[in-house]
Structure 1
Amino acid sequence: MLTRQPIFPGIIELNFQAREVLGCNVYLIFDADEWLLIDIGYEETVDDFIQIIRQLDFPFTNCKTLIATHADVDHIQGLAKAKQLLKTTVTAHPNAVKPLRDGDTLITLAEIEAQNLKLDMPPVTVEHEVNDGDIITVGNLELEVWHTPGHTNSQLAFRMGDVLLSGDNIYRDGCIGAIDAHHGSDIKAFVRSLQRIRDSDVKWLAPSHGPIFANDADFMNRTIDRVRGYLKMADFGTLAESWPLMDEWDDEVETGKLPEGLTPPK
């Protein structure tokens, strides 16, 4: 048997517990006789995580549910397998229900043809839908559900006391979850979600990738300012709201203006 090594009371991160990064962060929330998992990662690492759970002496029959923070393949490809092994249910935001049920390889980013990426996305049924403000209980613990869209339209975070299990909203290096129109990204919504995290009294952020870090307003503001700038960058295509360069180009074409130092041929 393994000695349980919680990072906060009632919270074990299974990669940290194993002292090996197997995939995305998988949080085991436990109290009394109940426990649940937040995310599971790829199908190929399900057996590894299940073995760790067994060695930590968490009875499979006491698993309340498997929660998907959002419908991206690196978080949920293993849901169907884990659900079958643990004989439990799946919980997610309503926007994640259809791609999970259909095993949608496009929305989940399991298939990116231009990069020759093609992963299986086993379909799985979501028994429990949760929305912003809902409370999920685990024994005597309460997880407050936050809907934090931006990275995807199904992105959830979960508050427990001073800790926010913050999904792919932000990481310790200031990076954020990938912005991609194919899986429902929204830059304006992302800014609002980051502002909500910044303005909360949450002390610690436990993300879906990488180490836990403190919720610091200056740090958050640097990322928020950068992401807000994406709204006016062609880099983000249809997700940007404008491209100021094109307004400048309209003016320069109308006035016949060329760059300083460039003289047109006679």
Structure 2
Amino acid sequence: MLARKPLFPGVIELNFQAGEVLGCNVYLVHDADEWILIDIGYEETVDDFIEIIRGLDFPLSKCKTLVATHADVDHIQGLAKTKQILKTSISAHPNAVEPLTSGDTLKTLAVIEAQDLMMSMPPVQIEHEINDGDILTVGEKQIEVWHTPGHTDSQLAFRIGDVLLSGDNLYRDGCIGAIDAHHGSDIKAFVKSLTRIRESDVKWLAPSHGPIFAKDNDMLDRVIDRVSGYLHMADFGTLAEDWPLMNEWDDEVAQGILPKGLETPQS
């Protein structure tokens, strides 16, 4: 039996447990013999994670459910295979149900032709739809579900005491989950979700990628300011609310204004 390396009481992250990064963070939350997995990552690493779980002496038959934080391929490609091995159920936000059950390669970002990225997305049935305010129980442990859209429309986070399993909302370096229209990003919703985390009294953030870290409100303020600015930048295309430069250009065209130092050419 492997010696368990919990991050918090009843919370084990399987990459940290393994001593190597196999993929996205996979959280095993347990109480007594009952346990759940939050995310599973790519199909190719499922066997590795299952072997770790066996080594930790968790009975495979006691997995209550597999939880998808959101419907991005790097988090959920292995769900169908894991479900078959563990004979358990899948839990996800309602917005994740269609892309997961249909194996949608566009919304899950499994296929990005312009980057020559071509991955399979095995479809999987969802038994339980979970949403903001729901409580997942594992033994006597209670896990509060937060719907934190922005990165995707199905992004969930999970509060356990003063710890938030925070998904792709925020990482230790101040980066956030990728903003991409194809998988349901929403900048205004992202700001709202980050603000919710900022205003909460959680002490620790355990993201879906990278190390856990203490919640830093000054850092969150900077991130919220930066992401709010994306609403007014052409960088984010149709996800932005406006592009102030175009209003300035309208005025300059109407008034025939050229930059200082550039004279109007003579005809």
Q: Same fold (TM over 0.5)?
A: yes
State the alpha-carbon separation in 2 of the partners of residues 85 and 136 from structure 1: 22
Matched residue SS, 2:153: coil
**Alignment partner of 1:188 is 2:182:** no
Deviations 1:143-163 (A, max 9, x none): 000000000000000000010
Aligned length: 266
State the alpha-carbon separation in 2 of the partners of residues 206 and 85 from structure 1: 27
What's 1:226 paired with? 226
**TM-superposed deviation, 1:4:** 0.7
**TM-superposed deviation, 1:217:** 1.1
State the alpha-carbon separation in 2 of the partners of residues 123 and 170 from structure 1: 28
**TM-superposed deviation, 1:168:** 0.2
**Alignment partner of 1:29 is 2:35:** no
1:1-266 to structure 2, matched below 5 A, reads 1-266=1-266
State the alpha-carbon separation in 2 of the partners of residues 99 and 85 from structure 1: 22
Aligned partner letter, 1:146: W
Aligned partner letter, 2:145: V
**TM-superposed deviation, 1:215:** 1.0
Deviations 1:105-163 (A, max 9, x none): 00000001111111000000010000100000000100000000000000000000010
State the alpha-carbon separation in 2 of the partners of residues 214 and 220 from structure 1: 11
**TM-superposed deviation, 1:264:** 2.6
State the percentage of identical aligned residues.
78
Moved over 3 A (4+): none
**TM-superposed deviation, 1:55:** 0.3
Question: How large is the RMSD of aligned CA atoms in angstroms?
Answer: 0.5
**TM-superposed deviation, 1:237:** 0.5
Matched residue SS, 2:99: helix
Deviations 1:79-100 (A, max 9, x none): 0000001111100000000100
State the alpha-carbon separation in 1 of the partners of residues 259 and 213 from structure 2: 46
Matched residue SS, 2:48: helix
Q: TM-score, normalised by structure 2?
A: 0.99
Aligned partner letter, 2:218: D
**TM-superposed deviation, 1:32:** 1.3
Unmatched runs of 5 consecutive residues or more in structure 2: none
State the alpha-carbon separation in 2 of the partners of residues 235 and 265 from structure 1: 32
State the alpha-carbon separation in 2 of the partners of residues 262 and 39 from structure 1: 57
Matched residue SS, 1:54: helix
Q: TM-score, normalised by structure 1?
A: 0.99
